[in-house]
Amino acid sequence: MVEVLSEPVGGGSYEGSLLEVDDLHVEFRTRAGVAKAVNGVTYSVGAGETLAVLGESGSGKSVTAQTIMGILDMPPGKITGGEIRFRGVDLLKLPEDQRRKIRGEGISMVFQDALSALNPVFPVGWQIAEMFRVHRGASRSDAKKKAIELMDRVRIPAAKDRVNDFPHQFSGGMRQRIMIAMAIALDPEILIADEPTTALDVTVQAQIMGLLADLQRERNMGLILITHDLGVVADVADKIAVMYGGRIVENAPVHDLYRSPAHPYSKGLLESIPRVDMKGQELYAIKGLPPNLLEMPSGCAFHPRCPYRRDNCVTDVPPLYPISGTRGSACHYWREVLDDGSR
Amino acid sequence: MSDPTVAQDLIHGGDEPTGAVTVTSTGRPRSLWRDTWDILRHRKIFWVSLVMLIAFLLMAAFPSLFTHKDPNYATLAHSMEPPSSDALFGYDLQGRDVFARTIYGARASIIVGVAATLLTVLLGGITGVLAAFYARWLDAIISRVGEIFLGVPYVLGGIIILGTIAPAQTSPNEFTIMAVVILVLAILGWPILMRIARSAVIQAKHQDYVQAARALGAGPFRIIFKHLLPNSLAPILVYSTITIGSYIGAEATFSLLGIGLRPPVISWGIAIADHTRYIRTGAHAMFFPAAFLSLCVLTFVMLGEAVRDALDPKLR
């Protein structure tokens, strides 16, 4: 419906994935010390592909997303290494005005809490229309018409009657739809959704995930879905990257991971999902707390909580061992974990 | 464009060719400003101050509506004559009609009050937004400079600056002296507004919608004018309404000290200053201008309070 970037950054001839995060390091300099939030994260997303980034609070998944978008607060944040390539061009080396052109049109983002992510003093239709007016130079009436179309597209009932309503007049799910409409307004090639359903009811969560999946197929976008909820990603994602302590501990095609996790942390996450056939039994929980980013455990960051721990886990940082062409696990004993299967 | 009601008109207005946008089912959308208006509408204090404000503004704009007498026409034979049917408020020391002079005095006082406030909002607003938005060293410099100005007591600062530029015995022309007084008030008053704007913008800056706007490709200019300013307007508006009143009072203080407005300008402050010595023999020449001054200050303060009550949900 809207023309794609007239001149794509880096040209269209690039052969790798659309977006590649390569060995990214981000730290926060605080008074208490240096918090290493992201320690060498590598992942990639192609057109039409959905990557789910999974991890608990403080695992660095959101910080990675903010770094991709270039909206990380610096200071206290600081990118200490790595590359983020979009169409083969390292975004971190681009000047700010060129990066701004990529935001919204090349890579766009949906935030967790749509109420606070929408400007309270402007009607929602105006906020969507502004995207067209500012970036596409559309006239007011054209932009408004497109805003209504988009609101229809994200399935807001009676969109025509509601364009002039303010964010606080919408329910949580509807607000998230508006946020999504704004994010896809300029036909981005990559959409990052940072916990898009965390603030919503379970029934609404399913609707929003369905909507995101539909839009992604329809527009052949690359979708990065950041979440801590394994339940919401199973049907939508193609591949999963599990993060722990600012590192990717396992990446795998989604069904492989569900069938047989290769990292004790992924295994723990899977086992802590409530299941109907386990009714009456105590629900499994990963013992201990997420690592303190100021004092990361030595060796494997997961070792204090790991049931598979041996002596070398405390001293040696496990690299991401390749399991197959599409899988990797950062565990010295991934074979054992894999053989145990899930539950 | 920073006014959200304008933005709303943007959507509402414009000839909609299909005429399809009919907001009948949900009613008119409720914005912060619409809510504010609904609250204001039901407040007596708002209507009282609004009526008084209109009266004072009419006085300032069209004094001849209220009196046909010439405020500068003096007959010394009438000097200090008390109020009578001939002259409602009596005559002053020079035998001029006090009522006419009080009516004509509104203009200078209100112009100084409003213009000084506008300048304060401009100075304080710009510095405050810049300090909050760019933070770091710019914030440090602006804040420290503001504190230096804030450390100077108002009257003392006025005496020093006005006493240097326009010493008591000189008689600069009408325009110059008003401009100087306006400038002095704004220079001494901007740090407070800077702080208010700064804190409001800092608060707005960390909201998700600013992050979201950045993530969707908005530049600093648009973030400031579309996101930060409209969301910081309320406290600025409240403070500036109250400031108009206090500036009118401050102008009178400077006039009383002989360093503010001075003849040929007609102002309440000058009238009070001219007649303080005759308070026992002819209080009327001082009382009426003083009463109008108080009422005018009260009007703006009441209006400011009404607006604050309506804008601040915590006080509801």
Domain count, chain B: 1
Give the span between the Cα atoms of B139 and B133, in whole angstroms: 8
The whole-number average pLDDT for the span B17-44 is 61
Determine, yes or no, domain membership for A113.
Answer: no
For the ranges A122-131, B130-139, B163-172, B217-226, the lowest mean pLDDT is seen at: B163-172
Give the span between the Cα atoms of B180 and A192, in whole angstroms: 56
* pLDDT at residue B8 is higher than 50: no
The pLDDT, as a whole number, for residue B128 is 93
Domain ranges, residue A295: 260-343
Best CA proximity match to A294, nearest among A245, A243, A244 = A245
Determine, yes or no, domain membership for B7.
Answer: no
Pairwise CB contact (< 8 Å): B209 & A109:
no
Torsions phi, psi for A27 (to 5 deg): -135, 160
Q: Distances from the Cα of A76 to the Cαs of A23, A61, B130, B137, B301, in angstroms? A: 20, 17, 20, 15, 42
Pairing type for strands A190-194 and A222-227 reads parallel
Domain count, chain A: 1
Determine, yes or no, domain membership for A59.
Answer: no
Pairwise CB contact (< 8 Å): A164 & B207:
no
Determine, yes or no, domain membership for B242.
Answer: yes
* pLDDT at residue B195 is higher than 90: yes
Best CA proximity match to B227, nearest among A31, A178, A127, A80 = A127
Determine, yes or no, domain membership for A294.
Answer: yes
For the ranges A13-17, B21-25, B192-196, the lowest mean pLDDT is seen at: B21-25
Torsions phi, psi for A199 (to 5 deg): -85, 10
Domain ranges, residue B129: 32-315
The Cα of A242 is separated from the nearest Cα of chain B by a number of Å equal to 24
* pLDDT at residue A254 is higher than 50: yes
The pLDDT, as a whole number, for residue B192 is 92
Of B11, B20, B208, the CB nearest to A164: B11
* pLDDT at residue B20 is higher than 50: no
The Cα of B6 is separated from the nearest Cα of chain A by a number of Å equal to 10
Q: State which amino acid sits at residue B19.
A: G
At residue B28 the predicted structure's pLDDT band, cuts being 50, 70 and 90, is: low
The whole-number average pLDDT for the span A131-155 is 84
The pLDDT, as a whole number, for residue B25 is 41
At residue A8 the predicted structure's pLDDT band, cuts being 50, 70 and 90, is: very low
Determine, yes or no, domain membership for B18.
Answer: no
Nearest chain B alpha carbon to A123:
B8
pLDDT in tens, B210-221: 888 888 888 888
Best CA proximity match to A168, nearest among B65, B256, B209, B253 = B209
pLDDT in tens, B54-84: 988 888 888 777 777 777 777 777 777 777 7
Of A101, A102, A164, the CB nearest to B8: A164
pLDDT in tens, A310-327: 888 888 888 888 888 788
Give the span between the Cα atoms of A270 and A341, in whole angstroms: 11
* pLDDT at residue B180 is higher than 60: yes
Question: Which of 28-87 (A) contact B at CB < 8 A?
Answer: 69-71
Give the span between the Cα atoms of A169 and A172, in whole angstroms: 10
Coil, helix or strand at residue A283: coil
Its pTM surpasses 0.80 = no
Determine, yes or no, domain membership for A99.
Answer: no
The Cα of A124 is separated from the nearest Cα of chain B by a number of Å equal to 10
Q: State which amino acid sits at residue B233.
A: L
Determine, yes or no, domain membership for B13.
Answer: no
Determine, yes or no, domain membership for B6.
Answer: no
pLDDT in tens, A267-297: 888 888 777 777 777 777 788 788 888 888 8
Pairwise CB contact (< 8 Å): B207 & A116:
yes
- The predicted complex's ipTM stands at 0.74
Residue with tokens 């002596």: A311
Mean pLDDT, rounded, of chain A: 82
Residues of A in contact with B16 (CB under 8 A): 141
Question: Which of 78-137 (A) contact B at CB < 8 A?
Answer: 97, 100-105, 108-109, 111, 113, 116-123, 125-126, 129-131, 134-135
Residue with tokens 């402007």: A122
Pairing type for strands A50-54 and A77-86 reads unpaired
Whichever domain contains B235, its CATH number is 1.10.3720.10
Give the span between the Cα atoms of A271 and B105, in whole angstroms: 82
Among the residues of chain B, which ranges form H helices? 4-12, 32-41, 44-61, 98-134, 136-151, 154-165, 174-205, 208-215, 220-222, 229-256, 268-275, 284-311
Determine, yes or no, domain membership for B274.
Answer: yes
Angle CA A149–A151–A153, to nearest 5:
70
A10: left (phi over 0), alpha (psi -120 to 50) or beta: left
At residue A15 the predicted structure's pLDDT band, cuts being 50, 70 and 90, is: low
Give the span between the Cα atoms of B265 and B297, in whole angstroms: 20
Pairwise CB contact (< 8 Å): B29 & A117:
no
The pLDDT, as a whole number, for residue B115 is 92
CB B255 within 8 A of CB B262: yes
Strand partners, A77: A28
The pLDDT, as a whole number, for residue A14 is 57
Determine, yes or no, domain membership for A208.
Answer: no
For the ranges A109-118, B33-42, B68-77, the lowest mean pLDDT is seen at: B68-77
Give the span between the Cα atoms of B205 and A60, in whole angstroms: 23
Q: Distances from the Cα of A216 to the Cαs of A112, A152, A219, B272, in angstroms? A: 18, 16, 5, 75
Q: Distances from the Cα of B180 to the Cαs of A161, A221, B122, B255, in angstroms? A: 53, 62, 17, 13
